[in-house]
Chains A and B, each alone.
Chain A
Amino acid sequence: MEALGRNTLGGLKSAVKELVDEFLLLFANILFAVSLFAVWGVFTLIGVIVDQNKGDAFYWQNYSPVLARVVLRLHMDNIYHSPAYIGIIGLILISMTVATFRRVIPARLPALRPVKIDKIPLHASVHVEGDEQDVRSRVQRFFAERGWQIRKREFGGEEWSFVDKHNWARRGVLVAHVGFVIIAAGTTIYWASGYSGQFTVLSGTTATIPQTGATVALKQFGYRIDPVVTKSGVVYQPIDYVSHATVTGKDGVARDAVIRVNQPYDVDGVKVYQATYGFGITFVLTKDGRVIAGPPATPLKEGESFDIPGTSRAIQYRSFVGTIDRRTGDAGRDPRPNDPGVVLAAFDGDSPLGQVLVPLGKALDLGAGYALTPQKYTLYSGFQYRYDPGISLVLIGAVVLVLGLCISFYLLPARLYVVITGSAHSWDVGIAATTVKGYDIFEDRFRDIVDALRRTPQAS
């Protein structure tokens, strides 16, 4: 019974070992890694082509029913955060780790053994005159001066020199892979303990960053949009967006801050970015000429709506129009508020009733004695904030990755086999070369080395 148990355990152990070996063999295989890359590439391409994070309704409206169903069923609407996408990146990281330890680190130039020089595709022979010791020392000096590391061994009374360069550079792949892992670690730190969000602040009001309690009081938002004459007509080009604010952090000290695009403000390690801006509108609702409650007292932002009391109807503030074209009554091209208006949409329950452009200060007759006047606009600023404790690690990882790529692409571990044969004052220096990346890539360098050796005195 005991023997049976031992046999079963032994069989199980060997089966597990076999399985682990198979797994390691597969994950260390370059073609497997490239296959994972191909799947990663296809997923990424899907993410580029298919609109992301738009909500189910968007796909049903804009895609054919079959395509919409495929997109939603296969979670292609948020592919970058899907289990499949994260899974493939996980598999690539495993493959990189296994390949690094099973293939990259153990990979070495061949052992220090004599070779048949003329059987190696890159080989040459240089004739040198002089006595043996002098020739040997000159050849050794030639390679040493060019940064080659020389090791000598004797085989059957014949001295062989094994001349290496950049042998350490085969670790470049390891460095690049480590860079990847560091980037993944930095990203994980953000997922685990970082946060981000958005908020909008009307001029003259204050917003709070919920995670830290820091406040941002917007004194004024400014923008500059210039008309620029181009070949296809006048284009209104945004030149500057700037928020003048007072920011109060954990220390309770209020500091003036100027926040622009590309110039975030740092409060307690949280960066606050200028993201958007808009026009808040104050509405006045009247019934039979008397002001009644309905729209909120604070200005409405684009996309917000309110109900008309005593009815099933609602009004939505769709968008702000800077300049109304007086000739047509439509929205003009100039986005600056010269002759502003707002686009309002009306709903009865969920049913849209239509939309209309209303100049600021003009009343819109809603029927049944109701009238709505968009009175004035107030600029607001939209901010993005982010706390990312892993970003330094991501940057370090990126630098390490590029360093690894440079080492593995530009430094070529190469080995020269050198043997000197001959007698008296006439010697032949036989040289053959091999590298970890094949022969073709070293052909020019090898020719240069041989030419340089031929140019040395007493050589031909």
Chain B
Amino acid sequence: MLDPLKVAIDHNLVVVTLATYVVGTLVLIGYFLLRTPVLQRAGMVLACLACLLQFVELGTRWNMTGVWPLTNLYGSLSLFSGLGVLIYIIFASKYDLWLIGGGVLGISAIAFGYATTWNEGYMPAVPALQSYWIKVHVPIVVSSYASFMVAFVVSCLYLFKSYAERRFSSGTRVVRAQAAGNAGSTVSMTVAAPPVSSLEATAARTETPGVAAAAAAGDPFALWLAGLPSLARLDMLTYRIIAIGLVLLSVGIITGAMWANEAWGAYWQWDPKETAALLSWIIYASFMHLHTRSAWRGERGAWVSIVGFASIMFCYLGVNIWISGLHSYKM
């Protein structure tokens, strides 16, 4: 019989955690748009709080039932949300990347909100999941998913800025600016078309001349865009985060194979989950290979990262929910 007090605490923790994610998302979106330090500080606190609450909630479940809380989709999605925010906090602290917090916390909020729809209560683990490997394999794999989620958000930001730059730098754009001492007048500015050679393309990737020119002319959107991290920096951060995620995914697949060898008598059975994970691994390994070529960094790399995250979502949720196999542990 479960302690009713602990059950009530757990229920409240779920609600408070979800609310913290949602408020944190709104605050960090506010910071993304307005860049006010107070919103950044509040967002940082809320992100840390949401992450902490998420782990406390999982810990409470574990303490209450004595069952490792990652035996079903609810537990694993909860961990995904918490780890996504944790990885974001680590990278944001190291690389001053708090701006992407709205995206990360937003996805975490959606993932945790969706997780609650799979929360069937407190269930013991089926025999296949009664193994010490669940404490090794699942957190590693889920942390790789969380890393790729953060990389996905950075890639989206890259594409956003890159396409905005393209808009500013392609053909002729009339920038209306209220120049000081020239109030009411209109400044027309022609910006050259994007360069074509690979060397010039690299230069264009590391700079945003269109945005810079428009910002200098006082375009408010360009001024706002100029405050975002540089494209080169976003590309480098995507690479660094995927480098973490790919190693974690590799270790996750290997530990999963070791567990499968112990539970099912074969380290690889071409189960849909295994092969979907292999597919994601192939995509991210391709990203790392392509990143060695300057022409494939930047925009193309960002698209590969986005396709990679779509494959992760397919592997994580699509296979679990729609395709039956050895990994069908929804409830």
Contacts and interface: CB of A to CB of B under 8 A. Distances in A.
Interface in B249-289: 250-251, 254, 257-258, 261-267, 270, 272, 275-276, 278-279, 282-283, 285-286, 288-289
B137 to A, nearest CB: 12
Interface string B235-256: 1100110010011001100100
A264 B250 contact: no
A48 B279 contact: yes
B189 interface: no
Nearest to B280: A41
B10 to A, nearest CB: 14
A280 B319 CA distance: 33
B319 A391 contact: no
A115 interface: no
A440 B235 contact: yes
B236 A44 contact: no
Nearest to A405: B247
Contact of B275 (A48, A230, A402): A48
Interface stretch (A67-75, A232-240, A304-312): A232-240
A120 interface: no
Contact of A231 (B120, B243, B319): B120
A44 B243 contact: no
Given A30-B293, A231-B119, A232-B120, A44 B127 contact: no
Interface in B207-253: 232-233, 235-236, 239-240, 243, 246-247, 250-251
A230 B261 contact: no
Main secondary structure of the interface of B (DSSP, over half): helix
Given A261-B128, A440-B236, A230 B292 contact: no
Contacts of A261: 127-128, 130, 263
A391 B286 contact: no
Contacts, number: 128
A45 B290 contact: no
B320 interface: no
Contacts of B4: none
Contact of A47 (B239, B254, B270, B292): B270
A246 B129 CA distance: 26
A409 B119 CA distance: 38
Interface string A22-61: 0000000011011001101100110111001000000000
B289 A402 contact: no
B262 A264 contact: yes
B307 to A, nearest CB: 10
Contacts of B127: 238-241, 260-262
Nearest to A232: B120
B131 interface: yes
Nearest to A241: B127
Contact of B264 (A31, A41, A273): A273
B121 A229 contact: yes
Contact of A410 (B130, B243, B275): B243
Contacts of B267: 391, 394
Contacts of A271: 265
Contacts of B265: 196, 264, 271, 273, 275, 384-386
Interface of A: 30-31, 33-34, 37-38, 40-41, 44-45, 47-49, 52, 80, 121, 196, 226, 228-232, 235, 237-241, 260-262, 264, 271, 273, 275, 384-386, 391, 394-395, 398, 401-402, 405-406, 409-410, 437-438, 440-441, 443-444
27 contacts: A30-B290, A30-B293, A31-B293, A37-B282, A44-B279, A45-B279, A48-B272, A52-B270, A230-B123, A232-B120, A235-B331, A262-B128, A262-B130, A262-B263, A273-B264, A273-B265, A384-B265, A386-B266, A391-B267, A395-B258, A402-B254, A406-B247, A438-B294, A440-B236, A441-B239, A441-B240, A443-B233
Closest 5 CB pairs of A and B: A409-B243, A230-B120, A261-B127, A273-B265, A384-B265
